[in-house]
Amino acid sequence: MKPQLELNQESAQARLEALNNATEGELRELFHQVCHSQKWATDMARCAPFDSLEDLKDRGEDCWSRCQEPDWRDALNGHPRIGEKSQKSGLSAAWSKKEQSQAQSEDEELMEQLKEAQEQYFRKFGFIFLICATGKSTEEILHAVETRLQNSPAQEIQKVAQEQGKINQLRLEKLITP
Q: Which helix (H) or strand (E) holds 113?
A: helix 108-125
Nearest of 78, 88, 83, 86 to residue 121 by alpha carbon? 83
- No. of H helices and E strands in the chain? 10, 0
User: Cβ(102)–Cβ(110) under 8 Å?
Assistant: no
CB atoms within 10 A of CB 103: 22
Q: CA-to-CA distance for 80 and 65, rounded, in angstroms? A: 23
pLDDT of residue 48 exceeding 60, the answer is yes
> What pLDDT score does 139 carry?
94
pLDDT bin (cut points 50, 70, 90) of residue 52 is very high
1-178 to CATH, choices 1.10.1520.10, 3.40.640.10, 3.10.450.350, 1.10.3330.10? 1.10.3330.10
pLDDT bin (cut points 50, 70, 90) of residue 151 is very high
Name the residues annotated as catalytic. Answer: 79
pLDDT of residue 71 exceeding 80, the answer is yes
CA angle 172, 161, 152 (to 5 degrees): 160
Average pLDDT over residues 116-139: 95
pLDDT of residue 6 exceeding 50, the answer is no
User: Cβ(132)–Cβ(170) under 8 Å?
Assistant: yes
Q: CA-to-CA distance for 168 and 132, rounded, in angstroms? A: 9
pLDDT of residue 9 exceeding 80, the answer is no
Query: Domain coordinates of the chain in residue numbers?
Result: 1-178
Amino acid making up residue 172: L
CB atoms within 10 A of CB 45: 20
Q: Which helix (H) or strand (E) holds 167?
A: helix 153-176
